[in-house]
Amino acid sequence: MSNIIEVTGVSKNFGGVVANHDISLKVKKGAITGLIGPNGSGKTTLFNSIVGFHPIDEGSITFEGQEISKLQVQQIARLGLLRTFQQTRIYGKMNCVENMLISIPHRRAEFMDMFASHSKADREKALSLLEFVGLYEKRKLLGGDLSFGQQKLLEFAMALMNEPSVLMLDEPTAGINPTLINGLIDRLKKANEQFDITLFVIEHNMRVIMNLADQIYCLAHGELLAEGTPEEIQNDSRVIDAYLGAH
Amino acid sequence: MNKTVLYTVLLIVAAIAPFLFPAYGTQLATLWLMIIVALTWDLTGGQMGYNSLGNIFFYGTGMYVAAIVTISLVYNVADYTDAAGGGTFKFTWAQYFAGMALGSLAAGLFCAVCAVIIGFITFGLRGPYFAIGTLGVAIAAGELVSNWDWVGGGQGIALPVYPGDLDQGKIVFYFLFAGLGIGIFLFLKWLYGTRFGLAMNAIRDDEDKAEGMGLHTLRYKLTAWAMAAFFVGIAGAISAFQLIHFEPLETAYQTINLGIFMVVCVLLGGKGTLWGPVVGAIVFHVFKEVTWNYFLGWQWVALGALIVITVVYFQEGLMGWLMRMRPEWFGLTVDESGKVEAAE
């Protein structure tokens, strides 16, 4: 399998705080890659760097072989590299269907496409994806009126609507009712297999990430601590130390 | 069905109003102007979340462009403005209406281009910074024009009087404003149903998310403002002919009057709704004229109180309030099962 994202020697400082130092990792095409680490270890910073949310200080990031570290957020999103947010972000004053309809891919949007009406195909796709995440009955509610967990599901459905080649999920199960987590894991796996979307997932819930990921990277203090299969990570004493706070 | 009846009744009322109330012809025309500027303000302010305080710039610029085009079709602009309304500058019927038609079109197009250029800079600002930035543009433009002798400086420009019966002229101007207003309403009704409407709402709700989803946000913002500017520019052009004489600070770039009124109309009626600006403009204009007539001396106090009450206690506006009280009228908050958890 080829690498769809390659991060090489990326560093990012905020003032005197070293958020990421010399991080290199690879996301394999078609796989599910996990990113774990204690709070403040630089996971979200790395995500923000990859999607172009802020410039990086050093290093290189490529997506499908193309250097993207100098591109803007929108350009990277249009290449097919999408992320969801830790603090869920949906369009609060629009209903679920509208949230979905505006999330169509804008890859080849021409000027006149701005005035296009919503095609039947788009509507059907929106409804079937809402069905897929279990929000079909709520489709006429405003996004902002959904519960936090439902908003997470809506954001996930919006991301699928955009037909990305890579989806980066920042803590997809945080704030979700434990009884729903198994359903979410199934859906993530389905999105990966059926829709052929490469997943790159930040997750604190060890049970979830061990179930989900093919390959896991562990960050601590802004540096790459360990990498390996779920079994290797589970048995890595450095990872255990990092989580339990032994130094 | 009900809607068709409602729209038909409203159109008939609009068509016969100037004949029913001939004494209020100019008032009713001004009411349409308020509706026009409120609807176009809401296009960026309500639907897209970009509260421009500078839309009055397009009104004033529209006036000047229309005037310059009309004059330059027949005379030398510098000679005309030098005479400051004196001299013998005659316009025939044909020259007058050709000037009005070409001038209005030029005003709209010029303002749309201005919106793209100014927007390219100011759309880097968000929230209150955008409001202040655009207000600065409008104020600066007023000051610059009032020191520009070629267009009459602080004295402004006097355009030719309507070539015909003046009462007839009032009705003509009423229908020009009404036609423009109805045209804008229908245009926006269509626009809000397309992808453009959803994109503007998405930018309003969370612009960072919209960028993250790959939306061409700047393209949408510039186009939206250019459309608003186009219509306000035309409205300014018609105003220039209706008012005959206008000057830069109090009439054309009147930031503290019409520039603020358009915002208050929208807030009063309900931001981000199609009917809100229309309802708000009507309520506001009636309120304003009543206080001007019956509480003279206190009219600005009453107006200030209305603004404060609207902004502090009634931000959702009339339509927003109606949407909250009667959500089913708008097809909102329909939960078809109430047991989504069980669907897992």
- pLDDT at residue B342, rounded to an integer: 34
Q: Contacts of residue B205 in chain A, CB cutoff 8 Å?
A: 90-94, 143
| Among the partner residues A93, A102, A105, nearest to B199 by beta-carbon distance | A102
Average pLDDT estimate for A182-208: 90
Q: In whole angstroms, give the CA distance from residue B337 to residue A130.
A: 14
CB-defined contacts A:B, below 8 A: 124
Q: How far A244 CA sits from the closest chain B CA (Å)?
A: 34
Cβ count within 10 A of residue B341: 14
Interface probe with A: pick from B213, B328, B333, B341, most Cβ of A within 10 Å: B213
Q: A224 has which bridge partners?
A: A219
Q: How far A103 CA sits from the closest chain B CA (Å)?
A: 7
Q: ∠B3-B5-B11 over CA atoms, to 5°?
A: 100
Average pLDDT estimate for B321-343: 63
Residue in chain B nearest A155 by alpha carbon: B209
- Phi then psi for residue A11, to 5 deg, are -125, 145
Q: Say if residues A46 and A83 touch (Cβ distance below 8 Å).
A: no
Average pLDDT estimate for A6-24: 91
pLDDT tens digits for range B243-289: 999 999 999 999 888 999 999 999 999 999 999 999 999 999 999 99
Tell me the whole-structure pTM to 2 decimals.
0.90
Interchain pair A95, B198: CB under 8 A: no
| Residue A149 contacts B where some CB pair is shorter than 8 Å | no
Stronger pLDDT, A175 or A232, i.e. the higher one: A232
Q: A27 has which bridge partners?
A: A5
Residue A188 has pLDDT above 80, yes or no: yes
Strands B245-246 vs B157-158: parallel, antiparallel or unpaired: antiparallel
In the three-class reduction of DSSP (H, G, I as helix; E, B as strand; rest coil), residue A243 is classed as helix
Contacting residues for B341 by C-beta, under 8 A, at least 6 apart: A177, A180
Average pLDDT estimate for A163-185: 88
Q: How far A70 CA sits from the closest chain B CA (Å)?
A: 15
Residue B340 has pLDDT above 60, yes or no: no
Torsion, Cα A33 A38 A42 A46, to 10 degrees, reads 10
The whole-chain average pLDDT of chain B stands at: 89
pLDDT tens digits for range B121-167: 999 898 889 999 999 999 999 999 999 988 888 888 988 889 888 88
Q: Say if residues B115 and B223 touch (Cβ distance below 8 Å).
A: no
What value of ipTM does the predicted structure carry? Answer: 0.89
Tokens describing residue B22: 């001939």
DSSP E strand stretches across chain A = 3-14, 17-28, 32-36, 58-63, 66-67, 81-83, 166-170, 198-202, 215-220, 223-228
Interchain pair A114, B199: CB under 8 A: yes
Interchain pair B195, A117: CB under 8 A: yes
| Residue A86 contacts B where some CB pair is shorter than 8 Å | no
Q: Say if residues A41 and A221 touch (Cβ distance below 8 Å).
A: yes
Strands A32-36 vs A198-202: parallel, antiparallel or unpaired: parallel
| Residue A105 contacts B where some CB pair is shorter than 8 Å | yes
Residue A73 has pLDDT above 60, yes or no: yes
Q: Contacts of residue B340 in chain A, CB cutoff 8 Å?
A: 134-135, 137-138, 150
Interchain pair A77, B205: CB under 8 A: no
Interchain pair A107, B214: CB under 8 A: yes
Residue A179 has pLDDT above 80, yes or no: yes
- Percent of chain A whose predicted confidence (pLDDT) is above 90: 61
Question: What residue segments make up the domains of chain B, in order of their start?
Answer: 27-274
User: Which of B59, B244, B261 has the alpha carbon at shortest distance from B141?
Assistant: B59
